[in-house]
Structures are given as structure tokens and as C-alpha cells.
Amino acid sequence: MRAGNLGSKVVAPRLWKTELLMSGSSDFQEIEEIAGAGVFTKKLFRDDRGVLGKVFAESAFRSSGTRHHVSEVFWSQSRRDVLRGMHYQEGQDGQSKTVTVLLGEICDVLFDVRRASPTFGRHFSTILCEIDSRTISIPPGVAHGFKVLSETAITLYSVSTEYDPGLERGINSQTIGFEWPGGESIISERDLLLPPFSPAESNLLYEGQQ
């Protein structure tokens, strides 16, 4: 067998479809329940090799009027009924976030704790899964959490500022007035000890032009 010929199957080029996917604009829909939050939707490209999708495009954010500069990208893997949240970062380094599911299914929840926000004290929930192509955009000062509904889930995040443990804040997920789906929630001791929602202790991270 000659070098470079390892019996790999030759797949006919389909670049034109890929180019359409990578260059096309994302659909954007505002989340009415949370001021400044939104959902970006991008078509997935599927063929016999698998799936290709885009989770972030700066141009899509600019055209929607949403601001998000990517400083860090990270991911988590969680098993069924794991509940992570509700977290946000305080101060001038408050983070905007994007959330996308790469594997499995989650119930994703936002909770507005910005005192000056017109949607203060409201929550929004949606189901994110690997078969759709939605990315949730979360403005600074909005608490975020999710619960896994599938056997396992891999969730991808991007954040606008680097994580600072001194500025990290959170709210107990059982005190936001939301009934989490699924079985009995699996919550870390750290998240169980988060304080309940208190309007007096909410943050000021809201800018009316978001």
C-alpha cells in the first residue's frame, strides 16, 4: 500500500453548501421576558459524515444590536437531572454569555436580577438540544442556570470577560419561582448554599441601551 493511501473513503466535495452555512446570517429573536437577551438560530449542515454548525458570529451580534466580546470559551458535561446555577458575575467585569448545547438536552433558564431593568424579577426558560442550532445570548447581570433532561449533556459557553472568583455571584435556583422539570435535581453543595433571591441585594448591571 502506497504512503498516504490508508483505505480512506473519498467524499465528494460539498463546499458550496458549507460556504452557504458559514457565510449566511443568523436569525435573531429577542427574548421579551429578559431585556437585552436573545436567541440566535443558524441552520445546521448535515451529510453522511456528520454535522457542521456555527455557534457564534460577531457580525450577527452587531446586526442584532447585541454586544458580546468573547474572552473565554468553556464547556461542561453533566448527567441527567444535574442542575447548575443560578450564576452571574458582578461589577464592571460583569459577563455577557452565549450558551449552546452540543450533546443532549437541557432546560435553560435566565433570571433577571438587575434592579433597573424593566424585566427585573422575571425568568425565561427554553429547551436547548443538539438537534437544533440555537444559541442563547445573555446580557451582563442576568443569572443563568440549566438542568439536564437527557442521559448526559455537553454545554458550550462563551463569556465576554474572564472569570473572576471575587466577582462571582449566584442565587439559589429553588427561590426564583420556577418549577424545574425532570426528576429530583442534583445540585452541588456550593449551589445549595447560594442565597435566595432578594430584590434588595440584586445588582445594578443594566444599561438601557442594551
Annotated active-site residue in 87, 144, 163, 206:
87
CB 186 within 8 A of CB 83: yes
Q: Among residues 68, 88, 123, 157, which one is catalytic?
A: 157
* Residue of 86, 85, 78 whose CA lies nearest to 103: 78
List the grid coordinates of 75.
464547556
Q: Are the C-beta atoms of 100 and 156 separated by less than 8 Å? A: yes
DSSP state of 24: S
Selection from 41, 63, 61 nearest residue 53 by Cα: 41
157 is catalytic: yes
Length of the chain: 210
Active site (annotated) includes residue 87: yes
In degrees and rounded to multiples of 5, residue 83 shows phi and psi of -120, 120
Q: Which residues 6+ apart lie within 8 Å of 59 measured at CB? A: 25
- CB neighbours of residue 180 within 10 Å: 21
Cell numbers at residue 20, please?
Answer: 452557504
* Residue carrying C-alpha cell 424593566: 118
Active-site annotation, residues: 87, 157
